[in-house]
Amino acid sequence: MNNLNGKVALVTGASKGIGASIARELAARGAAVAVNYSGSKAQADKLVEEIKAAGGKAVAVQANVADPDAIGPLVQTVAKELGPIDILVNNAGIYEFGPIESISPEHFHKQFNVNVLGLLLTTQAALKHFNPKGGSIVNISSVVVDGVPGAAVYSATKGAVDSITAALAKELGPKRIRVNSLNPGLIETPGTLEAGFIGSDFQKEAIARTPLGRTGQPEDIASAAAFLASDDSGWINGQAIFASGGFTL
């Protein structure tokens, strides 16, 4: 399926996990992809080489979206090397869990600066270089918008992502730019493995509450993101789409 031929996509936080899988899928469908990374240069470069070896086009661009001064140069580099942007996937995100007693200003701002402010400023900068014909913005949110014990701040960031999505869908619709959220459930990634979620009682409980009976894989999110990025979803706008196998909190 080459339904993204001629499109230019920027995927933030794309060196590993869900972001890497999305970048790989968009490239496989014909898009030229900017693989943004913060610190994982080797992984980003490896992904770019993989995409090129498969006949695709990709570049790796370093920027920490928590740093407002880094975002403008990121988007300018993408536009210079690949052309006007058609697809923006705001995937970069971090999470730290802990009880209410452990919440501090640092804990709060660390997550909001990446998950919310970084998303807003990346979108703002990307719009200056968007294709005048329009395009698609996909914001990676989470099922935790419904609240998870020990994740008050993280849940708040993802609730903000869904609210931002709804607002921007109305604001940018007249410019023919669609904005949707994609809300994964528990996905098996290097991050969730490192955090101890995979192989834990938490995973067992999540699987038990998932009608499809398994943990999600990055590819499950990538195919959904590619659908939202393409014209196949041309009448879908302002939605928060749960990609969780039916899991609910």
Cβ pair 153, 106 in contact under 8 A: no
pLDDT tens for 223-234 read 999 999 999 999
Q: What per-residue confidence (pLDDT) applies to 141?
A: 97
For the question of residue 95 being annotated catalytic, the response is no
What mean pLDDT comes out for the span 26-52? 97
Which residue has 């070896």 as its token pair? 53
Query: Is pLDDT larger for residue 162 or for residue 198?
Result: 162
What mean pLDDT comes out for the span 220-245? 97
pLDDT tens for 158-197 read 999 999 999 999 999 999 999 999 999 989 988 888 878 8
**pLDDT for residue 249 is more than 80:** no
Give the three-class secondary structure for 241.
strand
CA-to-CA separations, 130 to 27, 75, 107, 168, 213, in angstroms, rounded: 18, 10, 33, 15, 40
What mean pLDDT comes out for the span 189-217? 88
pLDDT-derived band of residue 156, with 50, 70 and 90 as boundaries?
very high
Helix (H) or strand (E) holding 9: strand 8-11
Domain region containing 71: 8-107+124-243
Q: Is position 116 within any domain?
A: no
Q: Of the residues 154, 197, 227, 242, which is catalytic?
A: 154
Q: What per-residue confidence (pLDDT) applies to 240?
A: 97
Q: What per-residue confidence (pLDDT) applies to 171?
A: 98
Q: Is position 2 within any domain?
A: no
Q: Is position 143 within any domain?
A: yes
Q: Is position 113 within any domain?
A: no
For the entire predicted model, the pTM comes to 0.96
Q: Is position 132 within any domain?
A: yes
Domain count of the fold of the chain? 1
- For residue 37, the one-letter residue type is Y
**pLDDT for residue 40 is more than 80:** yes
Query: Is pLDDT larger for residue 192 or for residue 116?
Result: 116
Q: What per-residue confidence (pLDDT) applies to 164?
A: 98
Q: Which of 156, 162, 121 is nearest to 138 (CA)?
A: 162
Q: What is the mean pLDDT of the chain?
A: 95
pLDDT tens for 119-128 read 999 999 999 9
- CA 195, CA 212: separation in Å to the nearest integer? 23
Q: Is position 202 within any domain?
A: yes
**pLDDT for residue 248 is more than 80:** no
CATH at residue 165: 3.40.50.720
Q: Is position 101 within any domain?
A: yes
